[in-house]
Structure 1
């Protein structure tokens, strides 16, 4: 029986895909984004073991609620592709149950997602954290290329995408790089929208509880005018941005 390690689950509306959704947070992530709001999901050891059957039984409790609200199930983390077998089996079971499926991923481990897994995914929420190679490395500890390769692969396979872009003043607000990202995104036929997400510090208390420093504690958050200006840049390239 397929099992994995999960952190928690929640219900959300309009944030993690269309409609009201059952959002499952899987444990473990290879990146260390400086603005991460969920440092408690970084390590597999910090999660609890759960079988696919156990997760599906929990989802079933809310089936009528989420389907009536035009929602479904979103797998996030952490990084769900770190546990690709568990993630793939959950997606299969959700599809068999007639539920809309969404995968929230950085794309850094996109090579682990087999075509069969992606065929069971109705929507990928793809986090492109920066369009500058050096900035991406400093911001996340990882490399940008795997994410861009994954985006082009999703487009080739016809998998719908919502691009997520976290706006961090001093890090991801460079107009030229935003324009370059907008051009890249505009060339992907299955991108339905870009969500420009203002950097926030809501996870600061988690860092304190874990006894680790929050790297961007003193970094300013973007004001509404800055956020709207970035959305406008994406729209100028023909991309729906929110």
Structure 2
């Protein structure tokens, strides 16, 4: 959402905090943001961790990414554990987030990008997430993406998904015990959400983090691949090699990073995992 849940992105990317820096002039009305605001007059607010511009890791093209705070999972390899708590975010109005995205609208559209909600887990705040996706899509005319684990997908109304052009769905394991070990949660809600997306016709990119000794068992990868291929709406699979670039965040939060001794997968391991997805007719990168 990241969260990740989320996708593996270098933690040294500079992120803009959700609140203005001391002395900075608050974001004022922007013509595009004003148009977007016409679609809704409700003062919808939510807990926002940060926002950023990214290329290649949060959907197609250059994207404005809003990282919402709060996540019901506690993934062992999470590189953004600072987004887990809603209390670590800043209460922010949808107007402010949309106004920030509007500053980059022309550039983003020229670069074939859009706007992505990540986290944390955006669907932990479905009203706020739905408001942002609607205004990104209909107010700013941007391609929209939702980065989610799917664990609380039942909270997402069909209207929210109708305003989502692409879902980045993290399927962290096919083996139920491994999934529980990785996340502390059950796999079934994610699979149910994936099937719902297929029924609705939402385009999906599946994300799978390859962790040696944890998620790399051939049967585990095969299970994810077969399930993804059965859906009919998965246009891409991202096989993401495990890394430890977020370990310092765990330490700063006083948390033990239990995968500190786990190596990153070798290139041939990543290639073999991608080949297993491709054997099911899926495009894997």
Considering the TM-score relative to the shorter chain, is it more than 0.5? yes
Paired residue secondary structure (2:216) = coil
Of residues 114, 120, 131 in structure 1, which corresponds to 2:157? 114
- 2:261 equivalent to 1:204: no
Question: Can you list the C-alpha shifts for 1:93-148, whole angstroms capped at 9, x where unaligned?
Answer: 11112110000000000100110100000000000000010110011001100000
Equivalent residue number for residue 51 of structure 1:
93
Q: Which runs of 5+ in 1 are unaligned?
A: none
Paired residue secondary structure (1:75) = strand
In structure 2, distance between residues paired with 1:88 and 1:181: 28
Of residues 27, 34, 38 in structure 1, which corresponds to 2:80? 38
RMSD: 0.7
The two structures have a TM-score, normalised by structure 2, of: 0.84
Of residues 117, 126, 142 in structure 2, which corresponds to 1:75? 117
- 2:144 equivalent to 1:101: yes
Structure 2 counterparts to residues 223-234 of structure 1, below 5 A:
223-234=266-277
Q: Which runs of 5+ in 2 are unaligned?
A: 1-42
In structure 2, distance between residues paired with 1:204 and 1:181: 27
Equivalent residue number for residue 11 of structure 1:
53
In structure 2, distance between residues paired with 1:216 and 1:179: 23
Between the two proteins, the alignment pairs up a number of residues equal to: 242
Question: Can you list the C-alpha shifts for 1:42-86, whole angstroms capped at 9, x where unaligned?
Answer: 000011011000000100111111111000000000000000100
The two structures have a TM-score, normalised by structure 1, of: 0.99
Equivalent residue number for residue 199 of structure 2:
156
In structure 2, distance between residues paired with 1:241 and 1:52: 35
Q: Which structure 1 residue ranges, 4+ long, deviate > 4 Å from structure 2? A: none
Equivalent residue number for residue 126 of structure 2:
84
Larger Rg: 2
Structure 1, 208-217 or 39-48: larger mean CA deviation: 208-217
